[in-house]
Structure 1
C-alpha cells in the first residue's frame, strides 16, 4: 500500500499543531468569559486546563513515538485494543474534526462581517437564530476549495502557508503581550474576581471550556506519517504543541486584563480587540482582530489535512471503505480522502454557525472520549513497545479523569456546560447510531492484516497485545 510522502519538518509539524489549536473566537469572546468567571477564573482555569491537556499529551507523545503513522489515535487504539475500539476512537475523532470544519465554512464570513457590514447582506436563511448571508457563505466555500487545492499536489505547499500564518500569529501575540505588560498595570487585574464570586468555583468552572481551547493538539500525531523527522521528535512536538499554545492563550488573555481593567473588558463586545482600542492602541486592536482571522484559517487548514489522514487510517484497516486509503503515487497525497473531506465539509457547512454550533458542542464530548481512549491504549500496550515512566503514566491518567469530567458535565443537565436539549443530544445520538451502522456493515478482515496495513510493515507474533482479543472479535463477527 502506498505511503504518504514525508514532507514536514519539526517547525512545520509544530506550526500545524499550535496553529491548529489556536482558534479565532477566544480573542474576541473573552469579554463574555471575564463577565462569567472573572479574569482570575479564566486565567487560572485555563492554566488547569492546559495542565490536564499536557498530561494527556504525555500519552500521545509515547504512542506517537512508537507508532508514527497516519491517523494517530486510530492506530494507537487498534494496536492496543483491537478493531472495535479503533473504529469507535476514529469515529469520535472524525466527528470532532468535521464539526469544526463545517463551522469554519461560514464562521470566516461571519467574522469578517463584524467589521465589513457589506458582507451581511443578501440574506439566505436563518437557522438557530443565526442568519446565513450569501457573501459570507461564498467566501467560506471559496476558502474550503482553496485549502483543498493547497493539499491536492502535496502537503508541503499547505505547510509553508501554515508556517507563514503561524509566524504572524506569534508575532502579533508578542506585540499584544509586550505592550499589555509594559503599559498596563496589575491594578487592572487585581482583584481578579468579582466581590461576590467564589474564586475556587469560578476557576473550576472554566477548566472545561479551558480544556476545549486545547482541542486539536492530537493532529500532530495524526500527521506523523507526513513528518520527515524522527519518531522521538514527533512525540516531543505533541507535548510542545500543548505548552506553546497554552502559554500563548494565557499570556494574551492576561495582557488583555493587564492593559485595561478586566471589569471594563467584561462589558465590552469584542474582548481583546476592544480592550486595546480603549487603552489607546488602535493598531494593536487591529492586530488582535488579525490573530482571530489567522487563527480561524490555520485551524481550518490543519483540521482539513488531519481529517483526510484519519480517513486514510480507517480505510487501511477496513473500518471504512478501503478506497479512502488510496494514495496518489506521484504526489504522495490521499486524494480520495481529500475529496471526501471536501464533500462532507461543504455538506454540513451550509447550515451556518447557528446550527453547526450544535455540532461543535457535541465535539467536546467526542474529543474527551478520544483522550480517554488514548490513555487506555497507552496503559494497555506493554512497556517494551511503549516505554513509559510512572510519573508520566500517573499524569496521563489524571488527564483522562479530567476528560471524563468534561463528558459528565456536558451530558449532565444543569451544570452550566450541559448540552442543549434536545438538539445537541439528538445530534450525539445520531452520530453514535450512524457509526454503529457503518461499523456493522464494514468489511471484516484479519486483524493482523489490518494492523500491518496501519503500521506499514509486518510485526513478529506476540508483539501486539490486542492480537488475541482482536482475532476473537473477528471470529465472532463472522459467526454473526
Structure 2
C-alpha cells in the first residue's frame, strides 16, 4: 500500500493544527458573548473548555505514539474497537469537517462584505431567509478551488502557505495583546461579570461552547502520516495545538476587555474590532479584522487537508470505495480524496451561510462523539493489545475520561432543547437523522475487508507491532 509523502516538519504541523483550530467569528461575535456571559464568563469558560479539550488530547497523543497514520481517529478506532466503531468515527469526522468547509464557502464573502458593500450586490437566490449574492459565491468558489490547487501537488505547498498565514496571525495577535494591556486598565475588565449575574453560572455556561472553540485539534493526528517526525513529536504537537490555540483565544479576548470597559465592548457590533477602533487604535482594529480573515483561511485550509486524509483512511479500511485511497505515484498525494472533498464542499457550500449553519450546528455532536470514541479506544487498548499498552510513553490514567465527560455534555446540551446551544427544531434534528441514516446505508453496502488486510492498509509498517513480541516499527524507534 502506497503511503503519503512525508514532508511536514514540526512547525508546519503546529501551524496547521493551531491555525486550523482558530476560526474567525469569535473575534467579532465576542461582544454578544460578553453581553450574555460577561467578559469573565466567556474568557474563564473558554479556559476551562481548553483544559477539557487538552484532557482528550492526551488520549490522542498516547495513541498517536503507537499509530502515527493518516486518518488518526479512524485508525485508532478500527484497530482497537473494530470496524463499526471506526466507520462511526470516520463518518462523524467527515460530517463535522465538511459542515465547516461548506460554511466557509459563503462565509468568506460575507466576512469581506462587512467592509466591502459590493459583496452584497447581485443576489442570485435566497435560502432560509438569506440571499446568496454572485460576488459572495464567486469568492467562495474561487477560494475553494485555490485550496484544492494548493494541495493537488502535495501537502507541503499548502503547509508553507499555512505557516505564513499563521505567522501573520500570531504577530497581529501579539500586537493586540501588547497594546491592549499597555494602553488599557484592569479596571476595564474588573469586575468581569455583570452585577446581577452569577459568576459561577455564567462561567460554566460557556464551558461547552468553549470546548467547541477547540474543535479541529485532532487534525494533527489525522496528518500524522504526512509528518516527517518521530511519533512522540507528533503526539506533543497534538497537545501543544490545544494549549497554544486556547492561550491565543483567551489573551486576545482579554485584551479587548482590557483596552475598553468590557460592558462597552458588549454593546458594540464587531467586538474586538470595534473595541480597538474606539480605544484610538484603528490600525489594530483592522488588524483584528485581518485575524478574522486569516482565521477563516487557515481553518479552511487545515480542514480541507484533514478531510481528505480521513477519506483515505476510511477507504483503506474498506469503509469507503477503495479508489478514494489511491495516491499519486509520483507525488504521493491523495488526489481522488481531494477531488471528493472539493466536490462535497461545493455541493453544500452553494446553499449559503443561513442554510449551511444547520449543518454546522450539528458539528458539535459529531466531534463530541469522535472525542468519546478516541478516549474509549485509549481505555480499551490494554485489553486488546496489552503489549502495546506497556509501551505507552504517556501514562495519563483518568485524565482523558474528564474530557470525554465534557464531550458527552456537549452532545447532551445540543440535543436537549433550550440550553443555548440546542439544535434548531426541526431542521437540524432532521439533518442529524439524515446524516446518521446515510451513514448506516453506506456502512451496510461497504465492502468488508478481512481484518488483517484492512489493518495492513491502515497501519502500514506499524501493523507488525500488533503481534506480541514484534519489534516496534522502525520509524517508531527514531529518537
Name 1:135's counterpart in structure 2: 135
1:384 CA drift (Å): 3.3
Name 2:332's counterpart in structure 1: 332
CA-to-aligned-CA distance 1:290-330 (integer Å, 9 cap, x gap): 00000000000000000000000000000000000000011
Name 1:182's counterpart in structure 2: 182
1:459 CA drift (Å): 2.4
1:160-171 equivalences under 5 Å are 160-171=160-171
The runs of 5 or more residues in structure 2 that have no matched partner are: 470-479
1:128 CA drift (Å): 2.1
- Relative to the length of structure 1, the TM-score reads 0.95
In 2, Cα distance between the equivalents of 1:460 and 1:46? Answer: 39
In 2, Cα distance between the equivalents of 1:259 and 1:135? Answer: 35
Equivalent of 1:405 in 409, 418, 428: 409
Name 1:449's counterpart in structure 2: 453
1:463 CA drift (Å): 4.8
Q: Is the 8 A contact 2:66 2:392 kept in 1?
A: no
Q: Is the 8 A contact 2:388 2:466 kept in 1?
A: no
In 2, Cα distance between the equivalents of 1:461 and 1:43? Answer: 43
In 1, Cα distance between the equivalents of 2:182 and 2:73? Answer: 43
Name 1:225's counterpart in structure 2: 225
Name 2:362's counterpart in structure 1: 362
- Relative to the length of structure 2, the TM-score reads 0.95
Q: Is the 8 A contact 2:62 2:394 kept in 1?
A: no
Name 1:414's counterpart in structure 2: 418
In 1, Cα distance between the equivalents of 2:121 and 2:337? Answer: 35
SS in structure 2 of the partner of residue 385 of structure 1: helix
Closer, same or farther: CA 391–453 of 1 in aligned 2, 3 Å: closer
In 1, Cα distance between the equivalents of 2:225 and 2:305? Answer: 12
Q: Is the 8 A contact 1:172 1:287 kept in 2?
A: yes
Name 1:436's counterpart in structure 2: 440
Name 1:100's counterpart in structure 2: 100
Q: Establish whether residue 194 from structure 1 lines up as the match of residue 194 from structure 2.
A: yes
In 1, Cα distance between the equivalents of 2:311 and 2:210? Answer: 28
1:191 CA drift (Å): 1.1
Q: Establish whether residue 427 from structure 1 lines up as the match of residue 431 from structure 2.
A: yes
In 1, Cα distance between the equivalents of 2:191 and 2:301? Answer: 40
In 1, Cα distance between the equivalents of 2:137 and 2:171? Answer: 30
Q: Is the 8 A contact 1:39 1:189 kept in 2?
A: yes
SS in structure 2 of the partner of residue 417 of structure 1: coil
Name 2:149's counterpart in structure 1: 149
Name 1:85's counterpart in structure 2: 85
SS in structure 2 of the partner of residue 393 of structure 1: coil
The runs of 5 or more residues in structure 1 that have no matched partner are: 465-480
1:129 CA drift (Å): 2.7
1:125 CA drift (Å): 1.7
In 2, Cα distance between the equivalents of 1:166 and 1:84? Answer: 37
Q: Is the 8 A contact 1:59 1:393 kept in 2?
A: no
1:391 CA drift (Å): 6.8
In 2, Cα distance between the equivalents of 1:323 and 1:427? Answer: 28
Name 1:297's counterpart in structure 2: 297
Name 2:387's counterpart in structure 1: 384
1:416 CA drift (Å): 1.7
In 2, Cα distance between the equivalents of 1:94 and 1:189? Answer: 40
Question: Which stretch of structure 1 is more off in the superposition, 46-55 or 385-394?
Answer: 385-394
Name 2:474's counterpart in structure 1: none
Name 2:308's counterpart in structure 1: 308
Alignment RMSD, CA only?
1.3
Q: Is the 8 A contact 2:65 2:392 kept in 1?
A: no
Name 2:317's counterpart in structure 1: 317
In 1, Cα distance between the equivalents of 2:252 and 2:466? Answer: 51
Name 1:23's counterpart in structure 2: 23
SS in structure 1 of the partner of residue 206 of structure 2: helix
CA-to-aligned-CA distance 1:258-303 (integer Å, 9 cap, x gap): 0001010000000000000000000000100000000000000000
1:28-107 equivalences under 5 Å are 28-107=28-107
SS in structure 1 of the partner of residue 447 of structure 2: coil
1:395 CA drift (Å): 1.1
Q: Is the 8 A contact 1:105 1:144 kept in 2?
A: yes
Name 1:395's counterpart in structure 2: 399
In 2, Cα distance between the equivalents of 1:453 and 1:329? Answer: 16
Q: Is the 8 A contact 1:274 1:285 kept in 2?
A: yes
Q: Is the 8 A contact 1:123 1:132 kept in 2?
A: yes
Name 2:11's counterpart in structure 1: 11
1:130 CA drift (Å): 2.2
Name 1:467's counterpart in structure 2: none
